[in-house]
Every structure is written in C-alpha cells, then in structure tokens.
Structure 1
Amino acid sequence: MRVLITGGAGFIGSHYARQLLGGAYPEFADAEVVVLDKLTYAGNRANLSTVADDPRLRFVQGDICDAALVGELMRGVDVVVHFAAESHVDRSILGASDFVLTNVVGTDTLLQAALAAEVGKFVHVSTDEVYGSIDEGSWPEEHPLEPNSPYSAAKAGSDLLARAYFRTHGLPVCVTRCSNNYGPYQFPEKMLPLFITNLLDGKQVPLYGDGGNVRDWLHVTDHCRGIQLVAESGRPGEMYNIGGGTELTNRELTERLLTELGADASMVRPVADRKGHDRRYSVDHAKISAELGYRPTVDFDEGLAGTIRWYRENRAWWEPLKPGALVTG
C-alpha cells in the first residue's frame, strides 16, 4: 500500500505521518508513505525528524498546484490524505488570494490527478468553520455551508469540489470536518501555542473582543485517529464531523492557561475583535461515532498539560518561529 499525505510537514499532517509510521494504525502497518509539502512558513521538516530515517518515508518538497508533480506522485497511490491548506483566518483577512489558490485550485489539481490514477480512497481534511457560526446546538453534516471568513470560504469551495468529483466521476472521496485542534508542533500563531509560548516568555497574551467566542477543542491524536477511521472504512461521498467534546470560551481557555503557567489576569491584553469573528463552533460527531466507532479519548486537562509541557521542553523548535506571529483567538 502507498499513502500520499499532502501537507505532511505541517502540524496535523506531520502528526498523522508520525502516527502511521509509528505503528498506530495497524491496517496501514506496511504502507509506503509519500509526504508532499511546499514548506511554507507553517511547514517544517523538523516535524518529521522522529521518522525521517524510516525507509518507508519519501519526502517531496513541492506545490499541490503543480499538476505535473502531483500527477507523477499520484501514480501507484492507494490512499490520499489531503491536509495541505492555507489555514489561518487572520492571514486570510489580510489577503485571500493564496487561500483560494492553495485550498481550491490545489485541491482540484489533486482530485484530477487522483481520478486519472484511479486512487482507491481520497480523504479531504476540512474544518468546522465551513458551517459558519451557531448560537446553540451542534452542526450535523447536512447543515448548509455558511462560511464567514475568506479562509473558511476557500475551504468550503474545496469541500464542494471534492463532493462534485464523487458525484460526477465516482471518485471515492470522503470529507472530514474537525473542530479546533491542539497539541505539539502547532505553529505558534494559533491561539494555544501563541498564548503558551508568550506566557513562557513572560509576555502578555492578546485576547480578542470580550473573549466570549466558543470553540470545541480536539486533541490532534484524536483527530488523526478519526481521519484514519475514515481512510479505512468511510463511505465514499460522505462527510464526517470529528469533534473533541470540550467547549470553552476563549476567556475560559485563557484562564486555564494562566493557572497552568502560574500567571495572573494582568498577563491578558484585550485587543480589538477580529473582523467577522464567528461566535461559536460546535460539531455533532454522532455519525462517525455510530458508523466507524470514533470517540475522543484524550482528556482535555491531560492533553492541555501535555501540550504545555511539550512547548516548555521544546523551546528550540518554536523560538525561531515566533517573530511576526499574528494575533489570534
């Protein structure tokens, strides 16, 4: 078996690659792994250092919009797990063009190549942000897509393309939509690593608006396990929500971080709210639970403590990445 992982040097993609090569997914135990990553600001070869010497791993630096390269790499591939994306809302507000190019055109390039190569399964990794904002309850997979940021709009476009390739061509595509991920190796412009590393350095953390925006937190290990279940047994043409089951306001999460890191409220710096800031995300993951046996297993308190510990012990990884990190939340 051969698996192509796009964006496999990023936060979530590298975790999936490390898990796969480390034996966490028995069904893929003997798989050859090809990682394709452009190594933009958020892609880092160091994220694969623990598996870099595995003979089953081939790393290719390249762009998913490069049709010739993608077509070459797709030959002989059985499963594609597509993580590669421009993913930060703040950056998309500053300029949407890169998001449209990578998330929409890049996904189309991959889908076309997978169709030509007769790939057996294509897992397109998306986000709960395509649904927009929900005041109460949780989104099922059938909820209309109502994205509110250029990032989520581009991801929604890629979701619809994936669905179209199944409906039009019969390409065996599944789409996963996850809630907010956290864990080691996350680029320090996202809320958790930005706040953790700021507090480790004795710096204030920037909290958007009134801090009342609600997110559901999902450990990257649980997310990748859900993706693997879809890769193995997901029904072609279906969408699967993957949630963590821990909803917190940004202020509640900030207060937990302050407690864990021995800081007080003076370390919080309120900043003007993000444009179009979604108030609440919440996905219903009953479908993947009923069909594929998914459930989140990483307790949030333990996962958060482990994440803080990782950043405390891996300063050499994140310190060079901090200059220019954007405000987030």
Structure 2
Amino acid sequence: MENLKRIIVTGGAGFIGSRLVKKLLSTTEFSILNIDKLTYAGTNHTHSNAVRSDRYQFFKADISDKARISEIINHFKPDAIINLAAESHVDRSISGPEVFLQTNIMGTFVLLEAAREYWEKLRGKNRESFTFYQISTDEVFGDLSSGAPAMVEEGRYNPSSPYSATKASADHLVNAWYRTYGLPVKLSFCTNNYGPYQYPEKFIPLMINNAIQGKELPLYGDGSQIRDWLYVDDHVNAIISIMLNGKIGQSYNIAGNNEITNLEILNHLCILLDQMMPSKESYVDQIQFVQDRPGHDRRYALDDGKLQRELGWKPQVSLMSGLKLTIKWYLKNQIWIKNALEHKTNGL
C-alpha cells in the first residue's frame, strides 16, 4: 500500500468515523476527506478540531447523492474509500425503516458506482492500489444460540431487524461489485462498539446518562441477551490494519472477546458509577425491566482468529478499563451530551 496517500472516509463525523479520522491524521501522513450528512447522530466536532491540519477536508453531503459523490471523488482522487456512513440504531429501524434502506442500501450502491467509475479510469499503480472498504456489523449474521461457536467470516447471513437487513444488503452489493466488476474491496464485521462521543441513545451512554440523572435504567426483557463489547479505539486500530494490510476480496471479523449479558454489563456500569459518582443509593436500584424489543436477537459473537493470525491484531483495552474510561468521559462532558440530544453538538 505504498501508493496510499489520500483517503475518503464517509460517516467521518459519527462515533467510529470521527475516531478513525483523528487517528489517521495523528499517526499517518495521509490526506483525509470526510464526507458526512451530519444527521442527528453525526457531529462536526471532528471537523472543528481537524481543520487545524492542512491534510483534512470536510464535505457535508449525502452518500445517496450520485452527482455530488462523483464530483467529490473525482476532485479528491482518493487511493481508498472507507464507508462508515450508515443509519445504525435498531429501534429507529423498527419504527422507521425507510431511511435505513435509503442510506444503507442506496447510499452504498451510489458509492460503489461512483468508486467503480473513478477506478476504471485509473492506470498503473494507482489502479492496482485502490481499495473500497466497507464497514459492516455482526448483526448481519443474526441470532446465535448460547452454546454455538462464534461466527466466522463465511457464516450464513440471517439478519433480524430492518437495520441488519439493510447492512446485509449493502455487504452483498460490495461483494457483487468485486465479483462482477473486479472493484477491489475489503469488508469487516465488528461487535458492539462503545467509548467517548457515542450518541446518547446507544446502550452504554444511555445508561450512564440516565443513571446520573436519577432516571430509570430500562432493560429489554430479562436482560439475558449476550453481546460482545469492543472499545472504539481498538476497532479503529483494526480498521487501519485491514486497510493497510488486509487482502483484496477478503472479509475480517473484529471482536472485543468480551461476551456478557446486557444485565451483567449494566450491573458493572452501576457498580463503577457507585465508585466514581456515589449517590445515596446504588444505581442498581434504578434498573427497570421493560417489554422486549420485537425480534430481539439473543446473542451475537464473532470469531476474530483470522484477523489475529493474518494481521497480528488483537484488542488492547479490557472491558473494565474501557468502561471506566467511558464513564469518566461522560461524567466530564455533560454539556456535550445535552447538546447532542438537542442536535447542537458542534465542538468539544
């Protein structure tokens, strides 16, 4: 990847995308162009900080806008495109699936076509080194029983929610563009991410925020659903490793190796909050079991053996260390949370 100099990151103002952009700017010499629609979950705090670098550009754009996306790609002339732009909240996909189809399926289609048209005009080493990298999710594989082995990259797709179905559809498009047109692609699946700057509707920041405000901590069903938790910086490091050294046409699982029930992780959060911000009573007392989500998968798990064997990556942040870092950040950034919930986040 010696020719890799210019990278487009879509969704670069979102939770994972913003951390990726910052990491690339601080640890590489790459020039980065961030494309983000700046929806409710995307903030321009990345843009406001990264503009200090002459290697960073930001364009507010919808990845479904073919003319705009083609214009940006042809102007910037990227060596790689990393697609992180997506609607990702399962509950929102259940109540309003249409926007998920538009962004996750049609948006990916538009990016693929714009990338293909651009790539087909390249020559020599620029053509050989170009990569389209799609970021997917463990949810495309659907529900796993408690005793089943973790899913490998070649596992059968079995999505349950409109969100995971649209992400699965996007993955199929990416693989089809590789098989049919020869577009150089890579793809990775990841488990549940957490860490600073995650939008407060997601499980961990929601529970932290509700706890310190004295609100109930709503837990779906009996809380026995199992998830594997991955600290966001570990995910970002894996993305960079795959981008630089992963094989064209291959998929890679990125796991935290921290399988735990929702009730267990909520108890951990409450115990840590009891230590870090003591209240009169334990935060555990605020847990309330609520009606389960429709079609709620019981377990997700990924086998990341391929990534560890081939690229030498493994997560560096333990679950308890990551939870402490995350809680500490949210306790110190209540203004950010307030502004995010009011869709006003535009700076640190």
TM class by shorter-chain length?
A: over 0.9
Give the aligned length. 319
- Deviations 1:273-303, CA, capped at 9 Å, x for gaps: 0000000000000111111111111111111
> Structure 1 residues 193 and 47 mapped into 2: Cα distance closer, same or farther (>3 Å)?
farther
- Deviations 1:10-69, CA, capped at 9 Å, x for gaps: 00000100111111xxxxx22111000000000100244432321111110010001111
1:265 deviates by: 2.7
Are 2:340 and 1:321 equivalent residues in the alignment?
A: yes
TM-score, normalised to structure 2, is 0.90
- Aligned-partner Cα distance in 2 for 1:307–1:265: 18
Give the aligned partner of residue 225 of structure 1.
237
Are 2:225 and 1:213 equivalent residues in the alignment?
A: yes
Amino acid at match of 2:161: S
Gaps of 5+ in 1: 24-28, 325-329
- Aligned-partner Cα distance in 2 for 1:264–1:297: 28
Give the aligned partner of residue 307 of structure 1.
326
Conserved? CA contact 1:9–1:48, under 8 Å: yes
Are 2:169 and 1:157 equivalent residues in the alignment?
A: yes
Matches within 5 A, 1:37-186: 37-75=36-74, 76-118=77-119, 120-135=130-145, 136-186=148-198
Conserved? CA contact 1:13–1:83, under 8 Å: yes
- Deviations 1:82-107, CA, capped at 9 Å, x for gaps: 00000000000002111011001000
- Aligned-partner Cα distance in 2 for 1:254–1:155: 27
Question: What is the root-mean-square deviation of aligned Cα atoms in Å?
Answer: 1.2
- Deviations 1:209-268, CA, capped at 9 Å, x for gaps: 000000000011111111111111111111111000101100000100110111343211
- Aligned-partner Cα distance in 1 for 2:230–2:163: 20
Amino acid at match of 1:125: I
- Aligned-partner Cα distance in 2 for 1:315–1:56: 31
Conserved? CA contact 2:271–2:284, under 8 Å: no
Between structure 1 and structure 2, the one with the greater Rg is 2
Give the aligned partner of residue 201 of structure 2.
189
Q: Secondary structure at the match of 2:260?
A: strand
Conserved? CA contact 1:11–1:47, under 8 Å: no
Are 2:17 and 1:17 equivalent residues in the alignment?
A: no
Q: Secondary structure at the match of 1:261?
A: helix
- Aligned-partner Cα distance in 2 for 1:47–1:149: 30
Are 2:216 and 1:201 equivalent residues in the alignment?
A: no
1:323 deviates by: 6.3
Conserved? CA contact 1:124–1:173, under 8 Å: yes
Q: Secondary structure at the match of 2:235?
A: helix
Are 2:309 and 1:297 equivalent residues in the alignment?
A: no
% identical equivalent positions? 44
Gaps of 5+ in 2: 120-126, 275-281, 344-348
